[in-house]
Chains A and B, each alone.
Chain A
């Protein structure tokens, strides 16, 4: 994979994901400093940069503690003349928005006009890997960033190269917005030239009016940013594509929906529909829009989530006094991701052309069988220590009379049935944050979950607030050593950083104690009895209590120890004695491990363990009420 990203054969045809194409583009542009907090759909950008930083000279990569510290670090590098990249997911943009608001307006370049800063923002219409599908596009209006949206993988690479040119030329942040369907799509593309002229030798020069955001400078900088955006407007034309046609209905679109539009128009056999595909959606080139709309009777704007392009196009058309009718959200829904099918339906409604194939018939037959399909929600992996903790929490508390605050991380999956013990999910650190208020006004005990990566990300301020305000909450810090949810990335608890350097772990228990928490216990979640008793003890105490549930992520553990586990002569198997299994539900309802399977033996339904998926955590054996689960150890050398 990395070999294709680094290939020096100009015009070579390769297959890359959108994320790999962004990386290639950034390297072609000479990016040297990359800083990121992981988040779908751009998590793997950092993983790959981490690997590349060990082979490409003068390329630096860091896993940052959150998106704000990440962007601040990138700005520090760019102000010193080094080209920097800062990928983050759409909700990460919220976290980074505070520093972003100043950096964007004052400009990311050095005093002498060196550097460049690109934010690669991963939107997620359809919430394919997110807890919400907010439309992060509006930040670029508010903060005057040049906003590019590639509509395919080739453009992902090309726009990244151009994005740095814009940032360097106009002293603005270029905001390149991807979505899951660009980032995680693979396509054949052609590579450009790569010189590997990365440099980490920066030179920061003092420039108080530019870098110190205080009056009167902040007002002058605000004035200047309008000037810069005006200049970008005429430059931005080159990112847009016009497919000409003489149909009186025209379509304006951007990003991945462009791909849906092309195929939808063909499916409906609409002839000669002109299409304006915007590559730069802030600032939108007015002249081009007016020229495109002038000869049309109707324009349909196809975009995902809240109308963004639509609002701007309607404004431009109204200011120009054109009589064309502009539609968007009237025909295109404002939530969930789109598909060719959705665009076909929108176009069918606006043109009156009926959908002329047997789709409806297939759907009718399909809908008849919907009841047959069991839902499949994301779940804790087999052997996940977090599942074991959730089991103990359920056992130690009265579910009807307890409030369970969730947060962002693998433990969010305790919200899905059959576990269902998460009462709210807000944002990183928001679980404990809201617990402070809930605990003050409710008689029920309040329990809050927080992962180790969340702890460093935005959990710390919530803990400080809870201690300071004498909040009566039991907080679980789920210490699994890695940022698990996004795919096992290192964090300050992992002992390793983005460059692969060994670093000292920032001890959670010590930090929590130093913040003033008096009652702190560390328990292994694979010991449910001890965990249950510890939770019961904790609930007798007033104030903020912390239980650190400490056990390495099973997925990471297996990945990192694969060789050792394979070679070990000691093989462990857990299996269920069918004669003893009473189908009581303790393992399959209360613990609900995915390595369990319902089977029929001698005409009786019993549970069995799927050996291909069991990870030998042994928790099911400890909780079985009928001693039906047996552990067998074999030494293959004996």
Chain B
């Protein structure tokens, strides 16, 4: 059985979207059932606080032989995302056409207002409005939203750990086809301050489990 798994990570330039994506890719190399890895990143202009959308796609199979040309597009299509990690809430809404009732969402509610909202020309929607819109567009019930930045500041003292808290919450939903151990192993290999980063994963894992049980 061939299955394509699609992750979509969205945010704003500078939030670490690409680093998060790379953790997935390195971890995927350790997972025998993942036969192919592909995914587009956004560089350049996006680093100037522009909207960032990156994709990570896996070809899953229990069989060692897979077709050479099967998973070939670096970007995903409408309704295809299995997992969305949103580092900024409005950016999830912007990309919500790629989601469906099958999509699991992990969304940081910490907002980054674009210039036109700061200047008051365009209203930045409320978290409630964003949540309702995502719910209707996707039809998904698995939408986990919390302020991961605040949590990182309060529990870890630095916003730097936000993304690993999000990652921990994503692991808790079972939406990632890689085991928690392999992801933790990857973090130990790829990141500095391993202890703190693993602590962040567990904080996220616990809050994810908790929020999921309340849905």
Contact = CB atoms under 8 A, between A and B. Distances in A.
B74 interface: yes
A267 interface: yes
B169 interface: no
B122 A152 contact: no
B129 interface: yes
Contacts of B96: 366, 369
B113 interface: yes
Q: Size class of B's contact patch?
A: 35 or more
Contacts of B136: 365, 369
B115 A40 contact: no
A259 B72 contact: yes
A41 B45 CA distance: 10
Contacts of A416: 115
Interface stretch (A107-115, A183-191, A538-546): A183-191
Interface residues of A, number: 68
A534 interface: no
A15 B39 CA distance: 10
A153 B47 CA distance: 23
A588 B42 contact: no
B37 interface: yes
A258 B124 contact: no
Given A374-B90, A597-B113, A363 B38 contact: no
Interface string A121-136: 0000000111000000
Contacts of A597: 113, 118
Interface stretch (A24-32, A63-71, A378-386, A574-582): A378-386
A91 to B, nearest CB: 13
Contacts of B125: 372-374
B115 A598 contact: no
A240 interface: no
B48 A374 contact: no
B155 interface: no
A380 B49 CA distance: 8
Given A589-B119, A598-B124, A363 B49 contact: no
B17 to A, nearest CB: 12
Nearest to B35: A188
Contacts of B76: 340
Contacts of B179: none
A472 interface: no
A181 B50 CA distance: 18
B26 interface: yes
10 contacts: A40-B45, A43-B43, A340-B73, A358-B100, A362-B97, A363-B97, A374-B123, A378-B48, A380-B48, A487-B44
Counting from the closest, the 8 A-B pairs by CB-CB distance are A129-B44, A259-B72, A40-B44, A185-B74, A378-B48, A378-B50, A376-B114, A366-B97
Interface of A: 13-15, 17, 40-41, 43-44, 128-130, 151-153, 180-181, 184-188, 243, 256, 258-260, 262-263, 267, 339-341, 344, 357-359, 362-363, 365-366, 369, 372-381, 410, 413, 416-418, 486-487, 585, 588-589, 592-594, 596-598, 612
Interface of B: 12-13, 21-22, 25-26, 28-29, 36-51, 69-79, 90-91, 93-94, 96-97, 99-100, 113-125, 129-130, 133, 136-138, 149, 159
